Structure 1
């Protein structure tokens, strides 16, 4: 084998992989066409076209700026790649009192409207694809306050004192209490006469995390792993 043959073979090996993994998915996913619900198959009609906007997008940017994707994934893997659908409240809610089994795999629409899909690097921390759903299920009355405490100090709760998640105190501001205490003040130990207030970025990040509820009903054509149906109805 001469050098020319070796160089062509090496280029082709890496080039084909790059084409299949980067180029083709980019052109297929950069402008996703809406998908219609099918009459007689889906329980609803119309077009499946979820949108992401407002403070949620700002929160996504804060999420990216602080490298949260380094330790948290945001993808419910297909069944052939893992057992994500079988984990409690991981891919959705198995026994939602209003909607039944809402578990499903991720699809391109879950990342529509974002500059980059935050699928993540590794799962050093839990996957966050449906974190907002789990949060509201566990803390129905104080989800926002729980998030502020956790963002300010991930180890505020003795039950998670082992957490190695970095704190983000620079997203908050320590202020002297002048009159009535703020409704958004972080609960916990703080010098008397002062309070910790979440700044705009902390509020945006909290809104983004609470919005992570990707278990909505999708058209049957997109549901690659539908929940088993009960033959008895």
Structure 2
């Protein structure tokens, strides 16, 4: 084999993979056509439109800049590719008080409003596709503040008695230390030995706002579901419950 043949083969091997994985998907997803509900399959008409609230763009940038995607995914796999629907509250809520079972797989519209889809590299921590819904379920019901919980978790992940061995790193550099003048600031997450208050900075607030916006469990058209026809609309039958990894 000559050097020219070797170079051509090497270029073709990487070029074809790059074309198939990067270029083709880029142009396919650049202009996504809306998907309509079907009266027969979905029981309603109209066009599917995902709803997001919060500082999605700013928060996603902070999320990416701090490498959160290294340990957390944002991808609920189709049932033929994994058991994500069976993991507690990852894909939505199995028993939502108002909507019933809201679990579903991820779809391309879940990442609208973001420059990059934060699908993640590994799952050292739990998937965050519906972390906003999970935190609200755990803390709002008991009168807690999900925003305050997330800020405390970012400041000191192992301070929570329920997560003493959390592998999540501390993001204390996203917080500021200020002198207490009169009352302690309402958003303070800690008080230092010198009597100063630790409060979240703009990046911490943007990141928490982004995390709370992750509620990807709205109803999608049946045509977008990877579930078998007999199981569409009933994801609880698609997978058996499995224990979620602790983050």
TM-score w.r.t. the length of structure 1 is: 0.89
- Secondary structure (helix, strand or coil) at the match of 2:50 reads coil
Residues of 1 paired with 2:49 and 2:224: CA distance? Answer: 12
- CA shift in 2, pair 1:32/1:101, >3 Å: same
2:171 paired with 1:168: yes
Q: Which residues of 2 match residues 153-232 of structure 1 at below 5 A?
A: 153-186=156-189, 188=190, 190-191=192-193, 193-225=195-227, 226-228=232-234
- CA shift in 2, pair 1:92/1:53, >3 Å: closer
5+ unaligned residues in a row in structure 1: which ranges?
Answer: none
- CA shift in 2, pair 1:229/1:222, >3 Å: closer
User: RMSD in angstroms over aligned alpha carbons?
Assistant: 2.1
- Secondary structure (helix, strand or coil) at the match of 1:79 reads coil
Residues of 1 paired with 2:117 and 2:224: CA distance? Answer: 18
Residues of 2 paired with 1:175 and 1:17: CA distance? Answer: 52
- Secondary structure (helix, strand or coil) at the match of 2:197 reads strand
- CA shift in 2, pair 1:3/1:122, >3 Å: same
2:116 paired with 1:147: no
Structure-2 residue corresponding to 1:102:
102
Give the superposition deviation at 1:51.
5.3
- CA shift in 2, pair 1:120/1:214, >3 Å: same
Structure-2 residue corresponding to 1:114:
114
Deviations 1:24-79 (CA, angstroms, capped at 9, x unpaired): 11111122122112223324332212255652221111111111111111101112
Residues of 2 paired with 1:66 and 1:137: CA distance? Answer: 26
- Secondary structure (helix, strand or coil) at the match of 1:64 reads helix
Conservation of the 8 A alpha-carbon contact between 2:53 and 2:213: no
Aligned residue pairs total 229
Conservation of the 8 A alpha-carbon contact between 2:56 and 2:114: no
Residues of 1 paired with 2:113 and 2:55: CA distance? Answer: 13
TM-score w.r.t. the length of structure 2 is: 0.84
Residues of 2 paired with 1:85 and 1:123: CA distance? Answer: 15
